[in-house]
A = this chain, B = another copy of it.
């Protein structure tokens, strides 16, 4: 699981930043190139693993699962597996994940606005 060197200034700073700064706390949860995109695709309804893969062709399987796992640990997405073969796994937003919607919307709004004017 990408074992993190517990004794690194790097990680220590990350921790205290997350505790003292709620914005950084959010950043640690939805940061990274792929998480917002995954969250977006799940915001339109639950999806199977393979559906997500096809919806985001640029992402590698490793990255997809890795981030899905982290999002699960962070209690933002829910994994539901049907014990059948071939496997049938669906991912959906948890309530906490759904509550992120206004945040993502606010960000998207600002982003689009900023891209439009480029510089004010």
- B-binding residues in A (CB < 8 A): 13-14, 16-17, 21-27, 29-31, 33-34, 36-37, 40, 58, 75, 94-96, 99-100, 102-104, 106-115, 117, 119-120
Copies of this protein in the complex: 2
Complex Cα–Cα for A69 and B7 (A): 29
New A-B contacts (15) at CB < 8 Å, excluding given A25-B115, A26-B114, A99-B113: A16-B58, A21-B37, A22-B109, A22-B110, A23-B30, A23-B104, A24-B37, A26-B108, A27-B30, A96-B114, A99-B110, A103-B103, A103-B110, A106-B106, A107-B107
Q: For A99, list chain B residues within 8 Å (CB).
A: 110, 113-114
